[in-house]
Structure 1
């Protein structure tokens, strides 16, 4: 009898670089895998982490045969006989592109809604967002990275696509792209016709790929019906996803990237009876069923606010946006600063933070002085953007700990000052602040000189901010 921890043989083989996990499963089916000298006879078989695992001669022969590579080639790469000046697709298949077990530690950045409508906004993207991305890349150091544009790359003017591409190229990081409702050819009469320009630049609108131990799926949940759009996943896409996930081991981490959130808490926050069908995915239950066997995270944008949702067995991350409230200022209408998500992958575990553009990587909140909220004039208010129910938020004044802050639904005070009213904000007067659930109140003593707020996240890290009363 052994007390050594056991893991799936296929996973151990992939971790040791013997072959991919899918290749290991095929070899097990063929009876070509030996563990401590004995053949493995069933999928799901487990072995100790230090077990002797070998591939039989017959298995080596199977691996040594011809390989089929599925390649989503970038625009400008040709799969036919190249003409002078053209780059053939086979040049992308080189040893430097191969990833092994060390690739399990990987970071990525998620850009939700850059949504540039004109040269002024594109200039801001290049002057503010691109340097922030490059700074984050530099801070992360020598870690494998990739980025994702999570939809609404444009604001209807698709002629600006090249300028967006120039910006993300400047980061030195490869980017995947998700289609958003403002990325469409709005003269298209069908859903398929609406994505012709997007597809010509970025490739398919739904696909999947593996990085380390995580399976990533990009979906197109913007359904164009010829005169507008709704949040919807067509049956063809769901059937494709079911076939794709049939090859993914149950229990693995699956990350789904799409534009329109599956769900939203905004109806509850604003008192609406039901959310708009353009603001969430109407048939999301079908996706929940497909993701049920996995540790699933869904990453979305679209709503220009930041929240975490837990519905249907998945953790949905709805991101604050690169453009904030449509480039009208420096924050979304829930008070979340313009910014982007940064995700770290440790094996099969995800960790994340929200990076505010132009702010230090440690920033997690904004503090609003007593008097900023007329209904609670004595309260200091903390807007903790990336809060979820696993966090705790405490406060103290003048060196004395006072305990938990009170979470209350409300409007961000700075958003009220900058966005409320018929003439505000500049250039986007239709923007109005929306209620958020990540505001925290502390009843500050009238003579308190200094208040410190501490927000402890789900991983035990504590983030601090301090307000000092003006002299």
Structure 2
């Protein structure tokens, strides 16, 4: 395999992304920090580590993509708000004082500052690393933030210690807040307490709802977290964060052409065949419409132009890690692994489970070389809590079948059941409701907050019918890596 730095050198000679147009530099037309005008500014800088220049570091303004030369220098012409680097493997993730990742500089047009240096620090070999995905923390108010502070963050810190996670970073995968953008500072305080750097993804509840256009809807988010799309590297993996929220007073899942062009240029520096992990809030696809029997897919629950993204990813082993739906689903779409992660807030902090029965929690990904494994960590539950079993003819399950919810299930998992220690075979997979979620969210009188919440059918429910003489039932789950989880109930 070509080493990444050698590949970058080759790509630099051939990529059209490096061309800097020979144009006149216009004077800025406004002092507004938000309005993107047609005036261009020539900027340059140097990327160093421990005082030494770094070559072949990818630098971008969200359109043009360049790499640093032998002396660590870069130059580009921009009309955009930020310049940022794609943090190279083997270097620490810089952090703001708030704990969030600092990989960008805001371009000061008012003072017409043109020099933007970046200083990195070596971290050593990060071929093995881990990352945490917070899908939908979605805090609405101080009450929600207290739960995030006292439940999620302490659980994460304990998990990092107990699981001995190394070279770990976090990703808040959208809907960081629930329309209340004034809570961003509180969120920053919480992730700082985690002790790991966090990258942020824009969610539909993170945009400025007062904005009249998609372009201006991200301004407040960018005030706190920098650009809404960017890339970085850890070990052998290239990571990309995308903004798939198209805001027009409502929203839909959509990737604009400017960002797609940037992604094409960014991927020009990634060798074909390598692994690319993409974080976006809205999934490219789920089976929710199929599960609900809907004739048409909801454009708020999918990326309507996902094919354009898939075309750019054809030459790579790709994962798309998403949130948004407050349920769990792991599937393949057009040979791309799509992960829809359960929500930190569950069903908007009304209880302890999502609308499909997945517990409130977060996802843990472990990377060794190009091998990626994952598991779901239920908040305030043991790491091996990977299923919930319902007793037949009980308060929650009125049927004569044993029911199991295995929220991290995919087609490579095996779900078996035992009756009085005798293997009976694999359980039947059906699309159905989780009994606990149905009990909690079907009866609107039980909902003291957010009475619009409803349970949803999911595709990770399993069923088996025990004999009338059975005394103990055990459900055995074997995941795609051979890990085994069991839960038993007495009848």
State TM-score, norm by structure 1: 0.82
Offset, 1:89: 8.1
| Secondary structure, aligned partner of 1:166 | helix
- Describe the superposition over 1:125-171 as per-residue Cα deviations: whole angstroms up to 9, x where unpaired: 01111111111111232610000000000000101111111111111
Q: Give 1:31-430 correspondences, 5 Å limit.
A: 65-68=70-73, 71=85, 93-94=119-120, 97-100=121-124, 102-141=125-164, 143-225=166-248, 227-372=249-394, 377-430=399-452
- State the alpha-carbon separation in 2 of the partners of residues 238 and 64 from structure 1: 25
Q: What CA deviation, in whole Å up to 9, does each residue of 1:69-125 have, x standing for no partner?
A: 7548866787899xxxxxx986x725xx2144x211000000000000011111010
CA distance in 2, matches of 1:306, 1:290: 26
CA contact (8 A) 2:389 2:404 kept: yes
Q: Normalising to structure 2: TM-score of the pair?
A: 0.79
Residues 1:194 and 1:75: Cα distance change in structure 2 (over 3 Å): farther
5+ long unaligned stretches in structure 2: 15-54, 56-67, 75-83, 87-93, 109-114
- Counterpart of 1:37 in structure 2 is none
Instruction: From the superposition, tell whether residues 449 and 375 of structure 1 become closer, same or farther in structure 2 (CA, over 3 Å).
Output: closer
SS of residue in 1 equivalent to 2:154: helix
Distance in structure 2 (CA, Å) of the matches to 1:350 and 1:410: 30
Closer, same or farther: CA 374–110 of 1 in aligned 2, 3 Å? closer
Whether the aligned pair in 2 keeps the contact of 1:382 and 1:439 (CA below 8 Å) is yes
Give 1:409 shift.
1.1
Secondary structure in 1 aligned to 2:266? helix
1:431 aligned to which of 453, 456, 459: 453
Distance 1:389 1:157 in 2: 38
**Measured at CA, do residues 375 and 132 of structure 1 come closer, stay the same or move farther in structure 2, by a change above 3 Å?**
closer
Question: What is the distance in 2 between the residues matched to 1:464 and 1:449?
Answer: 17
TM-fit CA distance, 1:442:
1.6
Q: Which residue of structure 2 aligns with residue 3 of structure 1?
A: none
Compared with structure 1, are the counterparts of its residues 79 and 284 closer, same or farther at alpha carbon in structure 2 (3 Å cutoff)? closer
Q: Give the number of the structure whose residues are more often helix, by fraction.
A: 1
| Pairwise CA distance, 1:276 | 1.1
Please give the secondary structure, in 1, of the residue aligned with 2:211. Answer: coil
Pairwise CA distance, 1:401: 1.1
| 1:319 to 1:374, Cα distance in 2 relative to 1, 3 A | closer
Secondary structure of 1:103 counterpart: coil
Residue 293 of structure 1 deviates from its aligned partner by: 0.7
CA contact (8 A) 1:223 1:230 kept: yes
Note the alpha carbon deviations across 1:316-358, whole angstroms, 9 max, x for none: 0001100001111000111000011100011011100111111
Q: Give unpaired runs (5+ residues) of structure 1.
A: 1-7, 15-19, 30-58, 82-87
Relative distance call for 1:64 and 1:329 in structure 2 (3 A) is closer
CA 285–356 in structure 1, closer or farther in 2 if over 3 Å, else same:
same
